[in-house]
Amino acid sequence: MLTSTQNRAAAFSSGPVARRAAVRPALGMRARARPTAAVSVRAEISYIMVKPDGVQRGLVGDIISRFERKGYKLTGLKLYQTPREVAEEHYKDLSAKPFYKDLVNYILSGPVVCMVWEGKGVVATARKMIGATNPLASEPGTIRGDFAIEVGRNVIHGSDSPENGEREAGLWFKEGLVAWDQTMTPWLKE
């Protein structure tokens, strides 16, 4: 006879969520444990990074909570000490700017929390949730409006386009993302 703990463990390890969870490459095809008749269209993804100041100030939980409450699905999460080459590649489009070196050094100054969120319109919505690059121009209720004052310490990064979401996820999550199905999905989508 199985104890209630053993029953729960057996149900979890063989349940539909456990069977469907799989690691998928960050770019390209989406891994699925179950076959589908139609071609699966991958949902939009956004790379979100809590910068060193946000990690040091203990804001990670508040930031994750905002995305969870909005209904987006977390498919990648890690605490990461950024290598210089990753920071330089991430900010390569700013390499001609006078603040580039300071920006790279800032990202290297402490751990960051890397996340990939998935869902309909996630890039545009995340940008609204994050607020303006200059926190003083950010509306109250946005992450930067609530938690930041300085442009150089603005707590968070978010992809600015679906294409950059894919590129950044591939850069920061070379090991891939987790494909899984949320049980609340029917309550969020028509």
Query: Counting beta carbons within 10 angstroms of the beta carbon of residue 12, is it exposed (0 to 12), middle (13 to 18) or buried (19 or more)?
Result: exposed
Annotated binding residue at 127? yes
Going by C-alpha positions, the residue among 44, 51, 50, 43 that lies closest to residue 65 is 50
Annotated binding residue at 133? yes
Annotated binding residue at 154? yes
On whether the CB atoms of residues 138 and 129 are closer than 8 A, the answer is no
Catalytic site residue from 117, 157, 159, 166: 157
Name residues whose C-beta falls within 8 Å of residue 115's C-beta, 6 or more positions apart in sequence. Answer: 47, 48, 49, 50, 64, 67, 74, 76, 77
Going by C-alpha positions, the residue among 73, 61, 62 that lies closest to residue 141 is 62
In the residue annotation, 90 being an active-site residue is answered as no
On whether the CB atoms of residues 99 and 107 are closer than 8 A, the answer is no
On whether the CB atoms of residues 114 and 107 are closer than 8 A, the answer is no
Annotated binding residue at 12? no
Residues within the annotated binding site? 51, 99, 127, 133, 144, 154
Active site residues: 157
Residues within the annotated binding site for ATP? 51, 99, 127, 133, 144, 154
